């Protein structure tokens, strides 16, 4: 029985995109326990809902997170549309799918870059982000902003995309797909990457399900569950299957996210080809009254919006349960037993988006 020391991890750490604090209880080089501590970016957005007009909350919800911004506004708009029983036009649904999947490609490329950086593999990090720049250019051309799209609204989308721009997007996607395949080839095949991630951060299938893991963390442990199967926006009309791996370790999570990039590119192609002509919004008047629980799939997992409205222009309750919040208990389970040098990549493997977690 060695002596135990407590080492603080975070809030400032080179691998963390956002600040989180973990107290690591160590015995020699091995972790025995990990105690999380949040609250560095708590902005009190749930309380802001009581003061702002519910139409303006679309902009606030988009800014809960910088990486998965569009899907937050998509979830919010879908929730309010469910409460007010608004029928969104088909073209708007397909445009939403297109932007949501572009958001997913951009987020997974960002994560692959950060994972490479956490392993110390800087050239791979730079190459991933170089391809991500192309995705950001595509997003800017269709929506006007690189990270904050500003296109979703209650009742549809705020801008249409011309056919010429869609054609150009399809061509860009071919280049992006080829370059992603080169990068994924390195992640999947490179022996130095393998030595760091294979067999590390194991989360068994039963643990993942019992602890409420979501997203790629859950699908890398063999559980076939993807919130896009619920059929919101136009996902019910497109053909796709969730990506599942059975490795249960970090390598499996890398492979799930890598394969999801290609799946998203195929979904964008399907959405652009199947997009019907027509209006992109319906006019929505009045105030919402009612309650709903809406679930969508963010790049990091299942996002739950629980909204209750009482007929005034402010919402009674605006509750966001983000995927990283649900992935913290699995993280606390994965850490004991590993070595200190593996902690950064394990923390990064759940794709922590702490600004989402602590709205």
- Tokens standing for residue 97: 């799918």
**328 scored as a contact of another protein (CB under 8 A):** yes
Q: What is the CA radius of gyration of the chain?
A: 20
Task: State the Cα–Cα distance between residues 32 and 49, nearest whole angstrom.
Answer: 41
Residue choice 16, 22, 68, 124 for contact with another protein (CB under 8 A): 124
The mark string for 145-184 relative to another protein (x by CB under 8 A, - otherwise) is x--x-x-------xx-----x---------------xx--
Nearest distance, CB of residue 100 and another protein, angstroms: 14
Nearest distance, CB of residue 212 and another protein, angstroms: 4
**93 scored as a contact of another protein (CB under 8 A):** no
**125 scored as a contact of another protein (CB under 8 A):** no
Q: Where are the alpha helices (DSSP H) in the chain?
A: 45-48, 57-62, 69-84, 90-119, 122-143, 163-189, 191-197, 205-210, 216-219, 250-274, 323-334, 343-349, 354-357
Task: State the Cα–Cα distance between residues 348 and 197, nearest whole angstrom.
Answer: 12
**306 scored as a contact of another protein (CB under 8 A):** yes
**351 scored as a contact of another protein (CB under 8 A):** no
Between 1 and 241, name the residue whose CB sits nearer to another protein: 241
Give φ, ψ of 283 to 5 degrees: -80, 130
The mark string for 33-62 relative to another protein (x by CB under 8 A, - otherwise) is --x-xxxx-x-x-xx--xxxx--x--xx--
Cβ neighbours of 274 (radius 10 Å)? 13
The mark string for 216-255 relative to another protein (x by CB under 8 A, - otherwise) is ---------x---xxxx-----------------------
CB distance 225 to 144 below 8 Å: no
Nearest distance, CB of residue 176 and another protein, angstroms: 14
């Amino acid at each position: 029985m060695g002596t135990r020391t407590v080492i603080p991890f975070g809030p400032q750490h080179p691998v963390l995109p956002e600040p989180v604090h973990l107290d690591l209880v160590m015995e020699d080089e091995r972790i025995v326990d990990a105690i999380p501590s949040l609250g560095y970016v708590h902005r009190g957005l749930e309380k802001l809902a009581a003061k702002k007009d519910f139409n303006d909350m679309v902009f606030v919800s988009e800014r809960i997170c910088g990486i998965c911004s569009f899907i937050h506004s998509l979830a919010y708009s879908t929730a309010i549309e469910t409460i007010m029983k608004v029928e969104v036009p088909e073209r708007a649904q397909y445009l939403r799918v297109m932007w949501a999947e572009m958001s997913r490609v951009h987020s997974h490329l960002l994560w692959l870059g950060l994972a490479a950086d956490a392993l110390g593999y800087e050239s791979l990090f730079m190459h991933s982000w170089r391809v991500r720049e192309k995705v950001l250019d595509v997003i800017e051309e269709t929506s006007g902003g690189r990270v904050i799209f500003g296109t979703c609204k209650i009742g549809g989308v705020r801008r249409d995309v011309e056919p010429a721009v869609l054609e150009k997007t399809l061509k860009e996607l071919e280049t992006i797909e080829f370059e992603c395949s080169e990068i994924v080839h390195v992640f999947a095949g490179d022996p130095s990457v393998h030595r760091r991630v294979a067999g590390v951060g194991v989360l068994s299938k039963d643990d993942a399900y019992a602890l409420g893991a979501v997203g790629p963390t859950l699908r890398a442990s063999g559980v076939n569950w993807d919130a896009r199967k619920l059929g919101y926006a136009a996902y019910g009309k497109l053909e796709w299957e969730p990506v599942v791996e059975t490795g249960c370790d970090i390598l499996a999570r890398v492979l799930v996210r890598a394969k999801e990039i290609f799946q998203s590119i195929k979904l964008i192609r399907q959405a652009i080809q199947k997009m019907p002509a027509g209006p992109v919004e319906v006019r929505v008047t009045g105030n919402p009254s009612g309650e709903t629980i809406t679930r969508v799939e963010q790049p990091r997992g299942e996002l739950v919006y629980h909204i209750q409205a009482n007929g005034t222009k402010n919402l009674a309750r605006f509750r966001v349960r983000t995927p990283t919040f649900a992935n913290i208990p699995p993280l606390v389970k994965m850490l004991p037993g590993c070595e200190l040098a593996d902690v950064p990549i394990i923390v990064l493997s759940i794709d922590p988006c702490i600004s989402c977690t602590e709205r």
